[in-house]
Structure 1
Amino acid sequence: MASVPHHFRTGRAAGRHAHNRTAVVLLVLSAVVVLLTLGGLPARASGAEAATSGLTVTKTVHADSAWIDAGRLEVFRLSSTPEADDGAIVVTWALDRSTWFPTWNLLLTSETGLLPPSGFKIGPVSPVEGFAYDLALSVHPETGTIALVVYSLAEGRTLRQQMWQVEPMAAPLVPVGDAGTVTGSYLPVAATWDLTVPLESGSYVAVSLINRTEEVAVRTALGAVAEGEVYLLVDGGGERREVLLGPAAYEMALYPLDVSRLPLGPLTLALQYRVAGEPVWVSPPRQVTVGRVEAAVRQAEPRAEAAVLEVTLELAGDGPLAGLDLRLDAVVSALEWDRSTLSFAETVRSSHRYHLLAGPGAEDGLARVRIPVESEPALWRVELSLASEPAISTQRGNNRILFGPRTQETILTSGAPVPIAASPLAPTRDWESELA
């Protein structure tokens, strides 16, 4: 049997023929070490014969000047009879010159009436000379499901994908001519899926930043699958795991996901479809981030004897933050009056980094830092920024503190002002006369 393009293989085949252009090793599939790469659409394995009836054809198309200049390339051709070519389904990559701006589209037509007279179209999808593309067409005659996807090897992403529903077909289809790699079953090559949270209206919205206090569900639309299970493959936190979501569903399905069991930080996820315990399709990977923490300034007080600004921050996370390095960076700037421009000139004097969860007060939800500040000039500005390792969603309730001898409250660019006592760090210059 001809080799299968790695973007449409399942685990074992992909492990043997992973494309050289891919860059990221994803996950271990079943008992054999499998390489899944960024942009893979694997879909073929020995277990595919156990999948539902149908047909999947995959092919790598190289964009060359010959067919680009001609404005047309026939990619797939299926027949309803093995004895002759009746053009039951034909997929063509064609340039439409009927509009003001010509566009490339993928066209599905039928010479036997399996499709509407106008056929189907997805696009625009413009070939780039010198690029290579993986295309897959999957048909399930019993349900009339048709799926098509085109993936750019050079760009590492899916360009277009679509599923259609037509009347059930009376006979199975067979490939004609150079069909590439043929699999005797329907595979969800154009499946859609995402992570969602519910809205008050009862609908769901897709998310990529996962808050562990929310009810998260995996939403899938696989098409004509009548058996098998769906798994979520998770790579992150130095671990690789497989989460069984449930039985595969023909229509859109929602699978609850316990995100409290996922590691903090950025994760690489992929959806996997198995039949008889064996992978037959794996989606391209996608990136999400699990975890959220917020830090808000609750008190800021200058200390003359120590020449520091004592800042107390209130920390709030969406769950346990064990193993998280939460970093606060403070940049201290002096603001001096420039009489020539009649404005304050800002000069960065120092910068400092604090590990908020490492201090003794972190357990009570508060973090306290002491930021060194000199006694001159009259006005100081401290700008705060928050980051973490692993990287999660970080929010600041406020991020700037402005204070001086006569300042009675901080001036913030975000959040509510925080009361602060007049600074006892008395200046040595007569700044009031300079402002006059």
Structure 2
Amino acid sequence: MSAADTPQSAPQAADRTGPVVILVEPQLGENIGMAARAMGNFGLSRLRLVKPRDGWPSVPATRAAAGADHIIDHVELYDTVEAAIADLNLVFATTARAHDQAKPVVGPEAAAREVIGHVAAGGGAGIMFGRERYGLLAEEVALADRIITFPVNPAFASLNLAQAVLLVGYEWFKQSGGAVQRGMPEHSPRAGKEQLGAFFDNLVAELDKVEFLRPPEKRGTMLVNLRNIFTRMEPTTQDIHTLHGVILSIAEGRKGPARGGVLDGSQATRLRALIAEQSGKASDDGGSLRGLARLLRRNPTDAERLLWNALRSDRRFAGHFKRQTPVGRHIPDFVSFPRRLVIEIVNADDLPAIAAEREARKIWLGERDYRVMHVAAADIETDLEAVLVRLAADEQG
């Protein structure tokens, strides 16, 4: 989590008495700052430096600390390792190298447990970290009571200074009672069994309408499996409301298997005939026609859907056409205003009123310099590419 991700108003964690972090001859201020930031992440606050190469205070360290000023501002400086650990009676040295010293070697988790017990008994504990280039000297390791070695890839065991501090800090914080502070927010209470049952009954009713729960002999098992899916989710009240809306939208928007819309084919045909009749009424102000056209827009035929998808995805036509858009008092299937081109789909089962209105519309559009192309729905469904080639040739012409 970056510094910008840290909530400015969040309370700081309660102070815990942890080990002193001792950096021996750190070379870069940036590494000191990042180590301080890692300490702050896990509640450590006491930082001691032994002869930092670039001196102290350090502007790069302050910048890299990313807000851990309470640590940077109270850094203690020492000239020797002996002085830095003089007041401590349990010291760990972190190293990835074998120093051939008769000294216990532990992992960060075991070290954290020992530090907690030692400090609780009134002792002082510290953890030494060596130089970025070559770590701690054998003589410095000899001053420690224990060696901490991290379980890392032996073929690439070198850790960045701040990374090593972070690993130790994490284990100490975890062992000393640190826990994840934020769980999943719950803006809505858990749904009650009655609410969950009502949703499930509604779901089953809709599934029965499409004969999903078959064969009959497997219906009971399928219902149990479905119910367990939603029970394992432990849905909230809001979850159930959302799921109810999903089921309702699918049920009301169904137009055959996975096709969408609210009308079946025969209803859409009657609607087109009604629009054709309405278009011929001089008394209509256009409002009713546009309302019917919006409903038709939600119920494209297979041919209309195929052609519309092609017009949107083909680079020759993408962005050129609009669907079911008014041109004066008329609503053609597709229109390109920049090219003054209208495409009308002719269905084999069109009623006489639809055909008559289409011809009248062609005359009206032609008088206003629109070119009209009639395309058979069967041609779109059987050879869409040929239709597109014809359209491209018409545009070029």
More strand by share: 1
More helix by share: 2
Q: TM-score, normalised by structure 1?
A: 0.22
User: Which structure has the larger Rg over C-alpha atoms?
Assistant: 2
Q: Which structure has more RCO (C-alpha within 8 Å, separation ≥ 6)?
A: 1
Q: TM-score, normalised by structure 2?
A: 0.24
